[in-house]
C-alpha cells in the first residue's frame, strides 16, 4: 500500500510536459565570431478550473457541489477561446523577453534563436513556460561593444 501511495505521489509531483510550439530562427556562423549559447525561461502559473472544481466537489456537500459547478461555469465563460495550456492571471508575463535577450547578449548579435512554448502540468496548476535558446556572437579578438551593433 505504501509503495502504491509513493508511486502515486511521485507520479503526481513529477510534472507532465506538453509541447505547444517550436520555432527556429536563422542561424549564422562566422569564423571571426564565437557563438556563446544562452537560454531564457519565463514561467507563469496556470490554473485548471475544471480540475479545481472536481477536487472541491470531493470535499463538499451536495449544495456546495452545485455552487462549485456554478462558479466554475461562470469562470469558464471568461476563459473561452483558443489558447495553449491553462489560463494565467498575469497577461504580460512574457513581454520582457526581448529585454532579457539583450541582457544575455549585450552586443545584440543574436542568432539561432529557438523559441519553445510548453506546459508543465501538475494537479490543478501548471507552469506555462516560454523558453528561448540561442547564440550570442562574440568577436574572437575581444573587441566586442554595443557601438558596432
Partner 1 sequence: MEKMGRTMFKNGLKLSLAAALIIGFSGCASLNSVSLTSVPAHRTHPVKTERSKWIVLGLNFDNDFVDDAVEDLKRQCPNGRVTGILTKDEVIAYVLFWKRRVTATGYCLARSAGQSAKSSRKSASEPHDFGSEVH
State the DSSP code for 106.
T
Could you say whether residue 1 binds partner 1 (CB under 8 A)?
A: no
Cα atoms in the 13 Å half-sphere on the side-chain side of 122: 11
Question: What SS3 state is found at 40?
Answer: strand
Cα 72 to Cα 64: distance, rounded to the nearest angstrom: 12
Give 57 or 120: the residue with its C-beta nearer to partner 1.
120
Cα 147 to Cα 149: distance, rounded to the nearest angstrom: 6
Give 31 or 92: the residue with its C-beta nearer to partner 1.
31
Map the footprint of partner 1 across residues 98-137, applying CB under 8 A: 109, 111-112, 114, 116, 118, 133-135, 137
Q: Which residue has the cell 449544495?
A: 63
Q: Of 21, 36, 41, 95, which one interacts with partner 1 (CB under 8 A)?
A: 21
Q: Of 19, 74, 90, 98, which one interacts with partner 1 (CB under 8 A)?
A: 19
Q: Of 6, 12, 27, 90, which one interacts with partner 1 (CB under 8 A)?
A: 27
Contacts of 37 (CB under 8 A, 6+ apart): 133, 134, 135, 136
Cα 83 to Cα 28: distance, rounded to the nearest angstrom: 33
Per DSSP, what are the bridge partners of residue 35? 137
Q: Of 6, 9, 28, 83, which one interacts with partner 1 (CB under 8 A)?
A: 28
Closest CB 37 distance from partner 1, rounded Å: 8
Determine the interface stretch with partner 1 among 28-36, 64-72, 74-82, 91-99 (rule: CB under 8 A): 28-36
| Binding positions for partner 1, rule: CB under 8 A | 14-33, 35, 109, 111-112, 114, 116, 118, 133-135, 137, 139, 141, 143, 148
Amino acid at each position: 500500500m505504501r509503495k502504491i501511495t509513493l508511486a502515486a505521489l511521485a507520479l503526481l509531483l513529477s510534472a507532465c510536459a506538453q509541447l505547444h510550439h517550436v520555432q527556429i530562427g536563422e542561424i549564422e556562423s562566422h569564423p571571426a565570431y564565437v557563438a556563446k549559447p544562452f537560454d531564457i525561461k519565463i514561467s507563469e502559473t496556470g490554473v485548471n478550473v475544471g480540475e479545481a472544481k472536481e477536487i472541491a466537489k470531493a470535499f463538499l456537500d451536495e449544495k456546495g457541489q452545485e455552487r462549485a459547478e456554478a462558479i466554475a461555469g461562470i469562470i469558464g465563460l471568461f476563459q473561452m477561446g483558443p489558447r495553449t495550456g491553462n489560463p494565467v492571471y498575469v497577461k504580460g508575463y512574457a513581454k520582457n523577453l526581448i529585454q532579457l535577450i539583450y541582457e544575455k547578449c549585450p552586443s545584440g548579435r543574436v542568432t539561432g534563436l529557438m523559441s519553445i512554448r510548453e506546459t508543465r502540468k501538475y494537479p490543478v496548476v501548471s507552469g506555462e513556460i516560454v523558453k528561448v535558446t540561442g547564440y550570442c556572437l562574440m568577436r574572437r579578438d575581444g573587441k566586442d561593444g554595443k557601438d558596432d551593433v
